[in-house]
């Protein structure tokens, strides 16, 4: 059984970690902004090159995420769809929120209501690493986090964004080998 040839990367998609590490500044910035929409995060990760292995790239992600200001966190969250409402046509959003596909419409209604209350309280979308989570699990997490104060919630969001970025970085490297 023969395997298909590996997919060829596009012009802004360096192949694997060595190519990502050696990418020109504008191409790398564009690629990193597809992972996380915070320009400050993308700049910090890019400045940490070269990465010799995934662990170094993940460490750069964690360090950059830890150093983001409140405004930078808002930039990072702006790239994410509301939980329960994946961006139509956005394969990443749809893949990450696969747990809401085919769910009972009443659960989606509860998610919309809880999201609206969360957004009114915190001023941003509810952000959670949705990969592998069910709609019911995300709704439970949203309800659990709603009583948090703004500072506690900001740190939870920072951690969730770090996890999302790790998954996206791994997929980026795996897809472009």
pLDDT digits (tens, 9 = 90+) for 105-150: 898 899 999 999 999 999 999 999 998 899 999 999 999 999 999 9
Structural domain includes residue 1: no
Number of domains the chain contains: 2
The domain of 129 spans 80-146
pLDDT digits (tens, 9 = 90+) for 45-59: 999 999 999 999 999
Is residue 55 included in any domain, yes or no?
yes
Residue 11 pLDDT exceeds 90: no
61 lies in some domain: yes
Banded model confidence at residue 73, pLDDT cuts 50, 70, 90: very high
Burial class (CB in 10 A: 0-12, 13-18, 19+), 24: exposed
The verdict on 86 and 142 lying in the same domain is yes
Report the candidate in 37, 167, 19 with the shortest Cα–Cα distance to residue 28.
19
Of the candidates 167, 164, 175, the one whose C-alpha atom is nearest the C-alpha of residue 65 is 164
Check whether residue 103 and residue 57 sit in a common domain. no
Cα distances (Å, whole numbers) of residue 172 to 13, 34, 39, 101: 9, 10, 18, 24
User: Is residue 152 included in any domain, yes or no?
Assistant: no
């Amino acid at each position: 059984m023969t395997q298909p040839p590996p997919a060829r990367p596009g012009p802004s998609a360096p192949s694997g970690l060595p190519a990502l590490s050696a990418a020109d500044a504008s191409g790398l910035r564009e690629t990193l902004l597809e992972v996380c929409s915070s320009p400050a995060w993308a700049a910090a990760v890019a400045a940490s090159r070269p990465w010799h292995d995934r662990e170094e790239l993940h460490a750069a992600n964690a360090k950059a995420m830890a150093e983001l200001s409140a405004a930078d966190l808002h930039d990072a969250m702006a790239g994410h769809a509301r939980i329960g409402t994946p961006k139509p046509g956005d394969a990443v959003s749809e893949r990450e929120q696969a747990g809401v596909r085919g769910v009972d419409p009443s659960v989606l209604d509860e998610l919309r209501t809880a999201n609206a209350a969360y957004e009114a309280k915190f001023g941003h979308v509810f952000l959670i690493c949705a990969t592998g989570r069910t709609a019911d699990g995300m709704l439970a997490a949203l309800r659990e986090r709603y009583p948090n104060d703004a500072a506690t919630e900001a740190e939870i969001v920072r951690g969730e964004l770090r996890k999302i970025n790790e998954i996206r970085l791994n997929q980026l490297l795996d897809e472009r080998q």
